[in-house]
Amino acid sequence: MTQPLGPADRSDSRTTVQDGAVDRSEQLGAHTQECLETEQLWTLFQVDQQRIGALDTIMMTIRGWTVTLVSALVGFSLSQHHRDLVLVAIVSAALFGLLDIGYRRVQLLHVNRARKVEQEVAPGYRLRPQGPGRSSWLASMLGGGTGYNSSISFYAAILFLSLLLWIVT
């Protein structure tokens, strides 16, 4: 025998339905919040990638100016027999090197943050697998993968050649 539902029974059934709707809306809200966080992380990743590229351009410009200025000073020094201009070239190369390393430091901060965001958004994706013995032979010869190897080696070569010319002249 079925009994007719009274007003109290109907309100209980509505509450049950409403509670189920609340559970679904909380799940949808959590999913929407997660998607929003992922979207924000993705935007941050793209901004970091743009900054990394812009800093690469700046550093290449600094290196271009270094080569131009040092070669002009050394050339003028050799043609006019002014040995002291080679010292000016050495000092200017060192100053440009410090500027370049400063930009590289900022770039590496963006690289590290982009790597962390990448691990958060896509944890299974790795461009270069990391593990023991995965560093390159060149990085290990230059003192490990500090991130400054290319900057330091470029300016070390410029400074070494300039110093050699200063000694020879």
> Which pLDDT tens digit goes with each residue over 50-74?
999 999 999 999 999 999 999 999 9
Q: What's the Cα-to-Cα distance from 68 to each of 62, 64, 137, rounded to whole Å?
A: 10, 6, 31
Confidence of residue 132 (pLDDT cuts 50, 70, 90): low
- Per the CB < 8 A criterion, the answer to whether 139 and 149 are in contact is yes
Rounded to an integer, the average pLDDT of 9-38 is: 59
**What pLDDT is recorded for position 4?**
53
Rounded to an integer, the average pLDDT of 30-46 is: 82
- DSSP H stretches of helix in 81-168: 84-121, 137-141, 149-168
- Per the CB < 8 A criterion, the answer to whether 71 and 90 are in contact is no
Rounded to an integer, the average pLDDT of 68-83 is: 94
Residues constituting the chain: 169
- Put simply, whether the predicted model's pTM sits higher than 0.75 gets the answer no
Residue partners of 97: CB distance under 8 A and separation at least 6: 66, 151, 152, 154, 155, 158, 159
Residue listed under structure tokens 């027999």:
81
d(CA 16, CA 33) in angstroms, rounded, equals 25
pLDDT at 17 over 50: no
- Per the CB < 8 A criterion, the answer to whether 59 and 151 are in contact is yes
What percent of the chain is predicted at pLDDT more than 70? Answer: 69
Confidence of residue 154 (pLDDT cuts 50, 70, 90): very high
Burial pattern 125-137, b for ≥16 Cβ within 10 A else e, equals eeeeeeeeeeeee
Burial pattern 14-46, b for ≥16 Cβ within 10 A else e, equals eeeeeeeeeeeeeeeeeeeeeeeeeeeeeebbe
